Amino acid sequence: MILIFAGRRDDRCALHVAGHAGCAARGQDVVCAAVSAVVNTLAAALAAFELQGFHAKLLPGEARVTCGRSGAAEVLFYAAVIGLAQMAAAYPDHIQMQTEGYFRAGQEEESA
Which DSSP state fits 22? -
pLDDT at 101: 78
- Residue ranges of the domains in the chain? 2-100
> What distance in Å separates the CA atoms of residue 42 and residue 4, rounded to the nearest whole number?
14
CATH architecture of 2-100: 2-Layer Sandwich (3.30)
Model pLDDT for residues 50-68, shown as the tens digit of each residue: 888 999 999 999 999 999 9
Task: Give the global pTM.
Answer: 0.87
Determine the Cα angle at 26 with ends 4 and 57, to 5°. 45
